[in-house]
């Protein structure tokens, strides 16, 4: 059976030093003139669509032309994100490159299931030379629903790999309970990785089939993914 392996990005593959939040803060500060315009907004595990819509609503920016404002803000965010990544103190998380290398030798299709917009994912992963490692995925441009992101990911990755888009063959790797919940709602399995703010125990409690402290034990992780 060919497996579909889907990676979350932030705090699963890379840490960007908060480049996304910094970029959104700048964009909304320009629009509202207020300091800390994203204060109190949760970013973790959510789609960019959901985050941007929440901030737009909080500052009453969308009145009567919500979709225009969304498109404007999304475009400005992507421009700002490129600048923030260029000066960010980020890194690739332990074992990621080795794991991606090892998966090349296995009968699997490797893609993304991320709340980032597609272009945002490209900017973040491209900064570390990792974008080309993934054959498609599901992204957070159009939906606040993470399970929809996973569903889109399975479809796109399977189509590009020429395999059956069966959710039962898919595994999502992520660092938050939202990644795990989304995987399950889409009919896929989930591997938790404790490189974000949740422990392995907590990710297992949220229903992950397995959890690891990071991705550095390549053989063990590959074994879990192919099990
Ligand atoms: Mg994450």
CA of 176 to the centre of ligand 1 (A): 6
CA of 211 to the centre of ligand 1 (A): 14
Query: Tens digits of per-residue pLDDT, 73-103?
Result: 999 999 999 999 999 999 999 999 999 999 9
CA of 13 to the centre of ligand 1 (A): 8
CA of 196 to the centre of ligand 1 (A): 7
SS (H, E, C) the chain: CCEEEEECCECCCEECCCHHHHHHHHHHHHHHCCCCCCCCCCCCCCCHHHHHHHHHHHCCCCCCCHHHHHHHHHHHHHHHHHHHHHHCCCEECCCHHHHHHHHCCCCEEEEEECCCCHHHHHHHHHHCCCHHHCCCEECCCCCCCHHHHHHHHHHHHHHHHCCCCCHHHEEEEECCHHHHHHHHHCCCEEEEECCCCCCHHHHHHCCCCEEECCCCCHHHHHHHHHC
pLDDT at residue 126 greater than cutoff 90: yes
Query: Tens digits of per-residue pLDDT, 175-190?
Result: 999 999 999 999 999 9
CA of 93 to the centre of ligand 1 (A): 12
CA of 65 to the centre of ligand 1 (A): 31
pLDDT at residue 125 greater than cutoff 70: yes
């Amino acid at each position: 059976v060919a497996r579909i392996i889907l990676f979350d990005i932030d705090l699963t593959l890379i840490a960007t030093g908060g480049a996304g939040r910094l970029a959104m803060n700048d964009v909304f500060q320009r629009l509202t003139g207020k300091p800390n315009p994203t204060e109190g907004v949760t970013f973790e595990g959510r789609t960019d669509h959901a985050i941007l819509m929440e901030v737009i609503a909080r500052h009453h920016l969308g009145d009567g032309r919500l979709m225009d404002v969304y498109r404007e803000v999304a475009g400005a965010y992507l421009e700002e994100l490129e600048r923030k990544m260029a000066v960010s103190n980020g890194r690739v998380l332990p074992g990621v490159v080795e794991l991606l290398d090892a998966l090349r030798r296995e009968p699997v299709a490797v893609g993304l299931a991320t709340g980032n917009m597609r272009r945002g994912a490209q900017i973040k992963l491209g900064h570390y030379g990792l974008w080309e490692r993934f054959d498609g995925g599901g992204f957070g441009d159009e939906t606040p629903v993470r399970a929809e992101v996973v569903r889109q990911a399975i479809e796109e990755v399977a189509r590009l790999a020429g395999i059956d888009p069966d959710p039962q063959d898919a595994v999502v790797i992520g660092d938050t309970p939202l990644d795990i919940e989304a995987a399950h709602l889409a009919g896929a399995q989930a591997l938790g990785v404790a490189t974000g703010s949740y422990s392995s125990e907590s990710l297992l409690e949220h229903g992950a089939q397995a959890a690891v402290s990071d991705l550095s034990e390549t053989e063990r992780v590959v074994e879990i993914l192919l099990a």
